[in-house]
Amino acid sequence: MHAWICDNPIGPEALTWKELPTPQPQPGEVRVAIRAASLNFPDLLIVQNKYQMKPPLPFVPGSEYAGVVDAVGVGVTHLKPGDAVAAFAGTGGFATHACVNAQLVLPLPAGFAFDDAAAFICTYGTSHHALIDRAQLKAGETVLVLGAAGGVGTAAIQIAKAAGARVIAAASSEEKCALCRDLGADATINYNTANLREELKSLTGGKGPDVVYDPVGGELAEPVFRSIAWRGRYLVIGFAQGSIPALPLNLALLKGASIVGVFWGDFARREPQRNAQALAELAGWYAQGRIKPVIDQRLPMQQLHQAFVRMGSRQVRGKLVLTND
């Protein structure tokens, strides 16, 4: 097997592509021949030693992938060689093969493409948990999605529309806004050129968005929170811009608004049955064509460095997928 190795977490440029002995699955594990892996923003943070989870060195990065089971460890009865699967395992995916705890593996329904499956669990799992579970989004409410053309952002647009909400998508360029409209966003705001607060006022008749989905953080947070509707829910998803904003709590009082934390990875660990229910609902929506990952580019696995440059420089629209063709 081959894998990208991180033995010095100073950034993606220090990763090396190495040949390794193909591992045998331990009891309770399966080995997956990886067909496609996707990039999530935490994959960038983890190889820079900036993520909350710090795996022991050396490790193989790549949180999420899809492929075919090619060996099964003792005690695994629900999976067999030849099964098509997807996994969100935190690490191991930027490789040709990975051994993974069988409980973290999702058997794929027929017709679920490997590229889509590799780009599905984290972004859709996060956005479903955020909007449906944490925000209790209702049909007819207005959702503002920031960083809306990125991985979790594109999933959030699709899920909010599937839930019957009105979506205002905000992003940093006209091209990104156009993609969001193609995905069903009812209105868009380019926050590099527009006055975000004025646009939100005019698009909501002065009321403000009921739910804000924020994977960006930084300087956008406070003006957006000032614009939120009465009983609004502000979803703290992440800080792609780099800085963690602080919000004046008097604004929460004045709007009767909630600041709602979202940590999908821990939700999946702490509440596996609820997460499984959510993923089953999402797989059903995928089969019905109501949601579909946006694939920005499909690159060979060996081009991981280029993929990380694209993500770090804010160019990705939807999801980047790396393949072992």
Ligand X SMILES: NC(=O)c1ccc[n+]([C@@H]2O[C@H](COP(=O)([O-])OP(=O)(O)OC[C@H]3O[C@@H](n4cnc5c(N)ncnc54)[C@H](OP(=O)(O)O)[C@@H]3O)[C@@H](O)[C@H]2O)c1
Q: Are strands 29-38 and 319-323 parallel, antiparallel or unpaired?
A: antiparallel
**Which residue, 198 or 219, has its beta carbon nearer to ligand X?**
219
Beta-carbon contacts of residue 197 (< 8 Å; ≥ 6 apart): 223, 226, 227
**Which residue, 51 or 285, has its beta carbon nearer to ligand X?**
51
Residues in region 145-174 near ligand X by CB under 6 A: 147, 149-153, 171-172
**Which residue, 75 or 261, has its beta carbon nearer to ligand X?**
261
Residue 314 in the binding site for ligand X (CB under 6 A)? yes
Residue 237 in the binding site for ligand X (CB under 6 A)? yes
Please state the closest distance from residue 247 (CB atom) to ligand X, in A: 17
Provide the 10 A C-beta neighbour count for residue 2: 16
DSSP for 229-281, please give it. PTT-EEEE---TTS------HHHHHHHT-EEEE--HHHHHHH-HHHHHHHHHH
Provide the 10 A C-beta neighbour count for residue 150: 28
Please state the closest distance from residue 297 (CB atom) to ligand X, in A: 12
Q: Binding residues for ligand X, how many (CB under 6 A)?
A: 29
One residue of 15, 35, 41, 161 binding ligand X per CB under 6 A:
41
Residues in region 238-257 near ligand X by CB under 6 A: 238-242
Provide the phi-psi class of 76: left if phi over 0, else alpha when psi is between -120 and 50, else beta: beta
State the Cα–Cα distance between residues 211 and 150, nearest whole angstrom: 18
- Token match 């072992």: residue? 324
Residue 216 in the binding site for ligand X (CB under 6 A)? yes
**Which residue, 87 or 262, has its beta carbon nearer to ligand X?**
262
Contact residues: ligand X, CB under 6 A:
40-42, 122, 126, 147, 149-153, 171-172, 176, 215-216, 237-242, 262-265, 311, 314, 316
